[in-house]
A and B are shown apart, each in its own frame.
Chain A
């Protein structure tokens, strides 16, 4: 590695003639044949279904695939659908509770983990806390169902709130932990040197610096709960229908443009939350979703 690096250093030193060659080499590498085409096709692949979905939510026809003119009526119909209101309310309640509780659990855990080396016990505990990320979701769903049945816990949507909290925890934890790890420890040392108590140091120095991480963690936790389907499907009983469960019912029975209108609304909300998190962290939520860190 060091040898290769020193070679690279030498290559970077501008010498007569070699400078020009190095640049052309780099440029030619930027243009591996076909890489750009693949990227364009990828974005078409990712966005074509979404664009079609949104476009057909404005379709005047009752069917999804035949275009018969522009209308807002499906949004109007969706807005008056009381089943949808109930599902939306359940989703917001569950998401709200799961977000608040998972963030409250994540903050102290992140404070402890940030002080420990990733290789030691800190890494071990982090692994346990991020277990929900590593298992297939269906396993978490049936595991929770089995637990609730065995201990006879029957709190209606309370059960769903508990299951979501566990699942959201790593998503809340990661941005908070990343923020703490990137924090300058000399700031809290300075606070102690200036006779701040532990609580003062936490409230006046650490917490304000941590705020963007907490907000991001909360948003990711909320999105994850908001979008969750399998766990909710297995754990929720009658009356516990959430938006994804309601959408699933529509997909299975009647696909009308109203479904597209509802779906578009759901996508817009996710977009709003994600953009906020993105702006707050100046794009650094990538580290969370990459999960390779």
Chain B
């Protein structure tokens, strides 16, 4: 076993081959992430940037707003954005799961050639420009867009509906952008599923629902968990989708952070919101990892 483990570099690089890559990621990503934490405890500069003095103002601003008489009240605007981000990200994840599982299952049962073509068709949007794909939804959802025209032609509505710049539009956009992230891992786990186990379940007189619930779903759970993480995390921090389809009115955490570093020019506040986002992301990852280990233990 160890003899077969001779690496193709013959071991002459030892660990050194890792150093350049680790150095670059360390200096240009890990250090900056630590700097976000530092910045969140600094004072706000007048024209963006920071004043190097300790301050917790950025976090107080997340929790409270000062009223004119100097008293503090809870900052509902922030909690609305936080709530909307988490709910939209959750809804996106659930919708993606509901669509991706049947689709992945269906695709995996096709002939090899058809399967390859269908997967390529799933992957193409995944690797093509996010901005371009999102902006095409503006064309569809506008007041005089094609969806409204279709609805009016069908007689479902008399006047154009306000579809764009709503939570619904953002949700459609998020599902549209992130669904390949769900399909690919779910497909991998469905593909790996031993078909004989399904046959065995049928032979033991399980109904189709029983087979699905007690054999197929538990065995494809790792793929669904992986896909959910891959959809939930970027949805939570999404910027382009709420910006274009929410029209700046339906802010999410990502757009709120971006706003602090540009127009609002409050870098410490933006850094503090990023820390909130980071805590959410890490919590998600830890929960998912724990779910993974408990599933293995069973």
Contact = CB atoms under 8 A, between A and B. Distances in A.
Q: Tell me the dominant secondary structure on chain B's binding face.
A: helix
A123 interface: no
B257 A142 contact: yes
Given A18-B203, A65-B145, A267 B132 contact: yes
A271 B128 contact: yes
Interface string A96-139: 00000000011111011111100000000100110110111111
A274 interface: yes
Contacts of B278: 135, 139
Interface size class of B (residues with CB under 8 A): 35 or more
Interface string A181-204: 001011011001000001001100
Interface stretch (B55-63, B72-80, B151-159, B231-239): B231-239
A139 B237 contact: yes
Contact of B28 (A9, A35, A162, A230): A162
B127 A274 contact: yes
A35 B123 contact: no
Judged by DSSP, the binding face of A is: helix
Interface string B5-36: 11111111111111011101110111111011
Given A52-B139, A290-B184, 20 more contacts: A8-B199, A32-B106, A39-B106, A49-B137, A56-B139, A112-B16, A114-B8, A131-B25, A135-B233, A136-B277, A138-B237, A138-B277, A143-B36, A230-B240, A271-B128, A278-B123, A285-B123, A290-B185, A292-B184, A292-B185
Interface of B: 4-18, 20-22, 24-26, 28-33, 35-36, 39, 49, 99, 102-103, 105-107, 109, 116, 118-133, 135-140, 142, 144-146, 149, 176, 179-180, 184-185, 187-189, 194-200, 202-204, 208, 211-212, 222-223, 226-227, 230, 233-234, 236-240, 244, 254, 257-258, 261, 267, 270-271, 274, 277-278, 281, 285
